[in-house]
Structure formats: structure tokens, C-alpha cells
Amino acid sequence: MTSDAATPVLAHVDMHLDESLERLKGLLRIPSISTDPAYKAECDKAADWLVDELADLGFDAAKHPTPGHPMVVAQDDEGEGMHLLFYGHYDVQPVDPLELWARDPFDPQVEETPRGRVIRGRGAADDKGQLMTFVEACRAWKAVHGNLPLKVSMFFEGEEESGSPSLVPYMKEHAEDLKADLALICDTGMFDRETPAITTALRGLAKIELVITGPDKDLHSGMYGGAARNPAHVLSKILADLHDENGACTLEGFYDGVPELSDAQKAQWDNLGFDAEAFLNGVGLSVPAGEKGRSVLEMIWSRPTCEVNGMTSGYTGAGFKTVLPSKATAKISFRLVGTQDPKAVLKALEAHIKARMPADCRYVINEPEGSSATTMPVENPAFEAARQALSDEWPKPAAFIGCGGSIPIAGHFQTILGMDSMLIGFGNDDDQIHSPNEKYDLTAFHKGIRSWVRVLDALSKA
Amino acid sequence: MTSDAATPVLAHVDMHLDESLERLKGLLRIPSISTDPAYKAECDKAADWLVDELADLGFDAAKHPTPGHPMVVAQDDEGEGMHLLFYGHYDVQPVDPLELWARDPFDPQVEETPRGRVIRGRGAADDKGQLMTFVEACRAWKAVHGNLPLKVSMFFEGEEESGSPSLVPYMKEHAEDLKADLALICDTGMFDRETPAITTALRGLAKIELVITGPDKDLHSGMYGGAARNPAHVLSKILADLHDENGACTLEGFYDGVPELSDAQKAQWDNLGFDAEAFLNGVGLSVPAGEKGRSVLEMIWSRPTCEVNGMTSGYTGAGFKTVLPSKATAKISFRLVGTQDPKAVLKALEAHIKARMPADCRYVINEPEGSSATTMPVENPAFEAARQALSDEWPKPAAFIGCGGSIPIAGHFQTILGMDSMLIGFGNDDDQIHSPNEKYDLTAFHKGIRSWVRVLDALSKA
């Protein structure tokens, strides 16, 4: 069902898709890797690019400095009724290992693949391609009707891939400028290629980097081996002990605040026909690794996890060096659900580390950070209106789903601005976000823009 | 007690020490890192340097190609009586982490330190400085007497720091050219700064690189965490399980062939007054890490060990990347004693790995290598003659000691050439071999040359 207002806008989107794509490429060419200080100027450049883009669209747009990478905030007050705040992030993940990319990650191109045309490049799906679906929907609407059908603000950050250190302070300081009736966040995926989704359960995230020091320098393993404490052994023990033989996390109190799925929720998810085998096969695996007795969908949507994201110690170059390492380092993160307290989890982790630390080893915990899980209020009528709008665009009706990733911004909108968030995104499982050869389907981009046109229309009447 | 023949040679060594040092610096300037293919030409250059040096001394010297780095072989047949084969290696360890070096590792210089003057640079102690003590002793002897007092061959390889892949095939093919009455090896240390040593027990070495693959690419830990197998967890478990709570290695049959110390040996070692606390404190540690109930000296001289020399998985750069790694890699090595069989140890290791490998993970074992431990025949009268000669040069009498490091060449001389080896070296515990800021004491270099003059003299009469 398409309204009179939306129909010509959808046609305009179809007509001008190539131009939309060229604009997306322009943004993808900027290597805005937020976690690496070497790319600071590039993050700034991406923010400027967005300010220019939004100003060109008639938004009152500006770049706002922070101690880290800048925020981009833009308003368009000409519409009537509900006020939306759209959020996205212009920063991207690092690209290493670069040798696994089939092309320069910052020279985006459209490629033909067995599953259709894609735009390939770092940030194509996470999150530049996604945020541009909304920007392009606004551009089309304005091109056809002059004014948007409701008040729209946009809010883009450049630190999402590096823990968003400036986000909360900025939101607290500028709460009045940012507050709206509803937040829209485009950083999530479809349920499958034909089924759009509104993500209503988001896991939280807690993380640390652990550095253990044993000897004060790398030693010769023949001279010191056996007698001198090897921090790689200490680290291995700490990491191995994080899970029991049933795949459960062993940290004291880890499962406090982890809710069981309601029967209704379980039934809805069972009905989605999720193919766990295909999900694992798609990445070269076949055996679910997590908690015994839980389905794969539960593991990735509603169960907390504990993962080692990286570790290093000693000599890791070509050949062999019989060194006894001085240091061993691991990056460890947790996905949190329900009311799990990130601070309590990190405290339990530190107790676990401490209990396994030999008297003459030292440890440092770097960059501890945590955010709680968030659950969205699906009883807000805007959710059902948006679900209908998405169902009109795609082959199958839209679903309310959980999400494995952490999108702390939704929690911040709730706690700092008292505002509900609606998470709608068009990513697919094979987009390889955070991996080499990231891509975004052209269908996702095209129908994503069209989806937002429909959602804007639907919300303007909700 | 110094003989008439040795006295003027010792004086000549003292007079010309600065020139000896300049020659050593020339060799140290060549970055002959054998494990890294990028330095192949430099290894070749170091071999040429030695050929030139030995030819200049009147040796019949030549470089012999191998599938890896070349061998240098030189003969001087003018002397009478016993035929000695001196062995050393011209290759060096990698230098990373380079940022921990106080100076360019390949721009050697003499530095004043609180413990005396040292020559600082990669290879200063391991093994270029050591091998040059013997070359310089021959140079001095020839300068004074024209001819050496016995037949001397020299044999230098360039792959000692990278597992010596060409050594055994080369020795087998050229057994007749290499065979002598006794091998001298200069790649070991003093017992302490005042006590020279002949190393009579050498540990063997077995090693592998293990690569575990889980998912076929790095994954987003939010999308796949929990459900997808994390190879960093698999590796941690494998490594953590290598030792029990008493510090013993858990591999099946690992202690087969490990002898207990004889009471006599134990008494001799107890008499050395080894300061275990100072040994550990010297590298920032205080608690012995190895098998409970064993002394530190036992751990490093006569007990087998199992050490992780390096490991890496996932994202290890600056900042945080919530990746679920595709691969996890570890370099693992064992020091072997008695009649432990390196092949059996590596087989037990693979069984240990296999038993902990999830059905959908794969593993590869790279570069497996092993060599047995070696024990020297101290009843050969040359050993007592050399011990006396060393005792004449240094403040305290020389000792027969064990060695933690592995010097497979001694075993090869025994098994392939049927020849005993005498290991005499002048390294100190704080030489930082295999670590940043490697150095060799000037005293070690100077008195090392003088020691060889005395040993040549003593052996010519033995």
C-alpha cells in the first residue's frame, strides 16, 4: 500500500539511483578509521563531507568538535508533526589484514556477484551505506515535495568503531538540541534477504585490553625456560578458564540479570525459520560453539557471550625465535543482555585475572568500557506503523528481531534524552562488516532508500 | 702456568686488541638474520667476510652453497698432531622489537656500563663475538709463531638461529672433509663472570608452529560471537593444558628418558653457589616457575621444558576491534634432556592438540624440528687439559657445567662424524642474546681470545 505522497518519491528514487550511488562512493573513498590516530584528518574530512551534503539538501548542518572525532548535527524544521532524530556513524573499522582484500578498501566499486550487484569497500555496510539510505530518502522527498513530511534532525558521530568516548559527554551537554520524539538508527540488518527487520533487542558490550608482564625483557628460552615465568602461559590459563566445558562463561555472577526468553518470543523466533546450519556453514563452520542447550539464534540474539578478540605474545614473525616472552596481551569483550551490569562483569573479570596471576607477574587493564543491553518499546504505535511500511517494500513482512551486535547509542537515547529508538537497517549476514572485502548489496541500498521513504510517510501519519 | 710458546702470543693479543675489535665490528655490521628471507644477501655477505678473513690468515678457505645459507669451511694443515675442528655460526637472531634497542643493532659500538666495557650490537655474543675469539687467537698465534701448534679446521654455518635445515645434509655429504679429532664449539657461556666453564650437558630442542583455523574469515563478534568457534579460545585451552598445577608438562610420555641427577653431579652443582634469587631478580622475577620440587639450576640445566615462544590471534593493533578471529597461531618449543626422543615429544604434542580440536576447526603444524640432548665425554683427557688452561686465564677454576640452550651441532658431530665436542664460551647471563640490546663484554672478548691461545697450547701437548 503506497500513499499519494510516497509514490512519486519512490519513482524519483528509482530514476536517480546512479547519482545516489556516486554520492555514496564519495563518502566511501574517505578512510575514516576512527581507532587509528593516523587517520584523524580523514575522520574530519568525512564529517565535512556530510555537512556539505546535508547543507546542500537544505539542512541547517554543522560540524561540532569533541576531544575525539567531530559530531555532525543537522536540522530541517520545515515539516509538521513528529520530530525524528536520525543517527548514523561516519567512521569505519581498520582494514587489516589488507592482503585479504581483493581491492583497495577505499576505492569502492560496484561488483557483480553470484548473489547480485554489490558496492564493495570499507564502510559500505557499516555504516556509510546504511546512513546514506536515509539521507538519499530525504533528498528524494525534498526533490519531489520541497519539504519533508515531518521534522527531521540528523546526528552523525565518528567514534562508533572505537568506543564512542565523546558521545555521552556530547549528548549530555547538547541534550536540548538533540531531543526529538523518536530516534531512527540505521546500523542493523535484515532478518534475511527478503525479510526486513526492526531490531528491538540489542546486546550491550563490555571490553578490556589485558597486558601481562613477566620477565622485564624477552628472554632466551634455553637459558631461562622452565625457571622463568612465561606470561603467554599465564594468559592462556586465564583465557582458557573463561569458559567451562559446556561453553558457559565461568565469571562469578556473569549470568545475573540474564532473562530467559518468554514462550511467545521463542515461538516468534522459531517461526522465522532461521537456518543455523547455513549460518555456520556460511563462515566455514558446522558445530555451534556456545552454551550447550541453546539455539544458535538464542546465542547470537539473547545470550551473553565472552570472546577473545585478539591476543599476542612473544615472537610472531616468520621463522622461529626461541624467546621466552616478557609480555602477553589479550583483547577480551563481552556481549551483554537483559540487566547484566557491565561494571560488575568487568569487576568479575578482573577478579578472575587476579586469581590466576603469579606473585611476580604484573598486569594492566587498558581501555575498560561497558554499555548495557537495551530493549525497545514495541508497544509504541510508531513501531507497528514502520513495520507495515517496511512490509510494503519487501517480499516478506517485517519482523521484530534481536541483534547480536551492540549499539550503545540506543541505550544513550533512552537514558540521556528519554527518547525511544527504532532500529531499521538493510545489512545482510554476508556483508563482511569488520572483515576484509566488506560490501553492501545494491538491493539493500536501493530498497533501503525506498524503505525510508515509506517509513517517513507512515510516521508522518502515525 | 703459561708455556714458552703461549706467553708471547698472549702479549701479542693484549697489544693488538683494538685491531681485533675493529675486525669484530666489521662482522657485526652485517645484518645476517637467517630466519628472515629478506636478509638472504646479508647472510651471504657475512659468509664472504669470513672467507676473506680466514684466507687473510693463511687458511685454505671457501664458501660452500647449500639450499639455504652457505657454509664456510677453512683448513690450516701446517701444525702437527691433533686435528681440531672449530665450529661457530655467522647468522643472528631477528632484532624486533626494534624500538627497545638503545642503538641501531647493526651499528656496533663499545659502551661503558656499570659492569665494564661492552660491545653492543646484534650477534655481539651470539655468536659473532664468540667465534671471533678463536679466529683472533689463531691470528695472534700465527703472527708470533708463523704456524699453528696443531691442525685446525673451521666450520661456520649461517642457519643456526633458524633451525639449521642445511646442516645435517651438508655434514653427511662432506663428512670426510669435516672429520677431525675433536670439535671445539664457542657458543656457550661462563658459569659466572669469574668462573669459566666447559659445557658438558646440552639440552635438545623440539619445536613447531601451530596454526588453528576456525571460521574462514574474521567475523563480527556481535553477529557471530557465542555461536561461532573462536580459535583463540581453542588455542588457549591447548596451551593452558600443556602444564599441570605443579608446573610439569602434561604430554603423554614426556618424561620418558629424563634421568635423575646423580648425587655426585648434584653435589658439584650445589658447590657452585648458584644464586637462584639473583638469577630471577636479574630479569624482574622472583618466583621459580617450573616444576615444583626442582632447583632453578636443575630446571635450566637438566630438566626438560615446554614453552610458548609466541602466539597471535585476531586484532592486535592499537584500539579495539570486536572481531572473532579466523586463525590463532602459536610457536611452541621444548628443551629436551637425557634420552628424550624429539619425534615422540612432537607426536605427543600433536595428540594433545588433536584431542582438543573441535570438529569444525582445522590445524596445521609448520616447521616441526627436533634434536636430542647431548652429554660430553669428560673422561677424554683433552677436557681436563682444556679445563686447566682456562683455569690459568681466569680468577676462578673452570667448571664442567650443564646448559639450558640447545646446540644441536654437538650431537651431529657425535652421530655423523663420530667426533667428541668441547663447548667453551665466554658469554654472560646478562648478554641479552635473542633480546634487544645484545652485548658482549670486552673482558669476555679479550680473555676469550687469550683463553683459546692457552687451550690451543694445552691441546697441542695433550
Alpha carbons B379 and B360: distance in angstroms, whole number: 56
Which ipTM value was assigned to this complex? Answer: 0.73
Q: Give the best residue of A320, A323, A329, A346 to mutate against chain B (max B CB count within 10 A).
A: A320
Strand blocks (E) in B221-326: 305-314, 323-324
Residue whose C-alpha cell reads 639473583 in the numeric block: B278
Report CB contact under 8 Å: B215, A284. yes
Rounded Cα–Cα distance for residues B327 and B324 (Å) = 9
The amino acid present at A106, given as its one-letter code, is: F
What is the phi/psi pair of residue B306, to 5°? -140, 115
Residue of B nearest to A321 (CA): B309
- Write out pLDDT tens, residues B283-328: 999 999 989 999 998 998 889 999 999 999 999 988 888 899 999 9
Q: How far is B144 from chain A (nearest CA, A)?
A: 38
| Min Cα–Cα distance to chain A from B428, Å | 11
**DSSP state at residue B192:** B
| 3-state SS class at B168 | helix
How far is the C-alpha of A137 from the C-alpha of A122, rounded, in Å? Answer: 22
Q: Is B192 on the interface with A (CB under 8 A)?
A: no
CA–CA dist B89, B186 (Å, integer): 9
Cα pseudo-dihedral A195, A201, A202, A204, rounded to 10:
-160
Cβ neighbours of A276 in B, within 8 Å: 227
Q: What is the predicted pLDDT for the residue at A2?
A: 67
pLDDT at B202 over 70: yes
Q: Determine the pLDDT at residue A359.
A: 94
Q: What is the pLDDT of residue B302?
A: 87
Phi, psi torsion values for B151, nearest 5 degrees: -75, 135
* Distance of residue A60 Cα from the nearest chain B Cα, in angstroms: 33
* The pLDDT value given to residue A320: 82
B346 touches chain A (CB under 8 A): no
Mean of the per-residue pLDDT values of chain B = 94
Chain A CA closest to residue B165: A319
What is the per-residue pLDDT across A293-314, written as a single tens digit (0 to 9) for each? Answer: 999 989 988 899 999 999 999 9
Q: B320 and A329: CB-CB below 8 Å? A: no
C-alpha cell at B243: 602444564
Output the pLDDT for position A261: 84
Amino acid at B381: P
| C-alpha distance from A90 to closest chain B C-alpha (Å) | 16
Nearest CB to B227; choose among A217, A296, A308: A296
H-helix or E-strand spanning residue A25: helix A17-28
Q: Kindly determine whether residue B435 and residue A318, on different chains, have CB atoms separated by under 8 Å.
A: no
- Distance between CA atoms of residues B453 and A221, nearest Å: 32
Which residues of chain B are within 8 Å of residue A232 when distances are taken between CB atoms?
239, 308, 310-311, 330
Instruction: Report the alpha-carbon distance of residue B202 to residue B429 in Å, rounded.
Output: 16
- Integer angstrom CA distances of residue A276 from A198, A280, B118: 20, 6, 64
Report CB contact under 8 Å: A310, B321.
yes
With contact defined as beta carbons under 8 Å apart, do B198 and B423 qualify?
yes
Bridge-based pairing state of the strands A182-185 and A420-424: parallel
Question: Which stretches of chain A score pLDDT less than 50?
Answer: none
Contact residues on chain B for A313, CB-CB shorter than 8 A: 308, 310-312
- Chain A and chain B share a number of CB contacts under 8 A equal to 354
Residue B62 CA from chain centroid, whole number: 24
Which of B187, B199, B230, B255 to probe by mutation at the A interface, max A CB count within 10 Å?
B230
Query: Residue A297: which of B227, B221, B214 has the closest Cα?
Result: B227
Is residue B12's pLDDT more than 90?
Answer: yes
A246 touches chain B (CB under 8 A): no
CA–CA separation, B28 vs B121, rounded Å? 7
Q: Look at residues B308, B345, B307 and name the one whose alpha carbon lies nearest to residue B328.
A: B308
Yes or no, beta carbons of B310 and A329 under 8 Å apart: no
pLDDT single digits (tens) B69-116: 999 999 999 888 899 999 999 999 999 889 999 999 999 999 999 999
State whether residue A409 is helix, strand or coil. Answer: helix
CA Rg, chain A, in Å? 23
Contact A28, A124 (CB under 8 A): yes
pLDDT recorded at residue A444: 98
Listed in sequence order, the DSSP H helices in A77-187 are 128-145, 167-173, 175-178
pLDDT at B322: 86
Please, which residues 29-48 of chain B have a Cβ atom closer than 8 Å to chain A? 34-37
pLDDT, residue B1, reads 57
**CB distance B198 to B437 below 8 Å:** no
**Does A313 sit within 8 Å of B310, measured CB to CB?**
yes
> B434 — phi, psi (to 5°)?
70, 5
CB contact under 8 A, A320 and B333: yes
User: Residue B307 is nearest to which of A221, A242, A367, comparing CB atoms?
Assistant: A221
| Domains, chain B | 6-188+407-461 (3.40.630.10), 204-371 (3.30.70.360)
Model confidence over A22-81: pLDDT tens digits? 999 999 999 999 999 999 999 999 999 999 999 999 999 999 999 999 999 999 998 888
Q: Which H or E run contains A403?
A: strand A399-403
B220 vs B147, higher pLDDT:
B147
Residue from A259, A405, A412, A417 nearest A339 by CA: A259
CA dist list (Å): B388 to B196, B394, B453: 11, 10, 13
- Judged against a pLDDT cut of 80, whether residue B399 lies above it is answered with yes
d(CA B53, CA B38): 25
Q: Taking Cα atoms as reference points, which of B104, B92, B96 lies closest to residue B43? A: B92
- Contact A223/B289, CB-based, under 8 Å? no
**Residue tagged 567475523 (cell numbers):** B219
Looking at the DSSP bridge assignments, the partners of residue B30 are none
CA distance B354 to B357: 5
Contact state of B284 with A215 under an 8 Å Cβ cutoff: yes
Angle at B401 between CA B395 and CA B402, to 5 degrees: 145
Rounded Cα gap, residues A108 and A113, in angstroms: 15
Contact criterion met (CB < 8 Å) for A203 and B226: no
**Measured on CA atoms in the order B375, B378, B383, B388, is the torsion positive or negative?**
positive
Query: What's the distance, CA B177 to chain centroid?
Result: 24
What is residue B2's predicted lDDT score, i.e. its pLDDT? 66
Over the stretch A369-379, which tens digit does the pLDDT of each residue have? 998 888 888 88
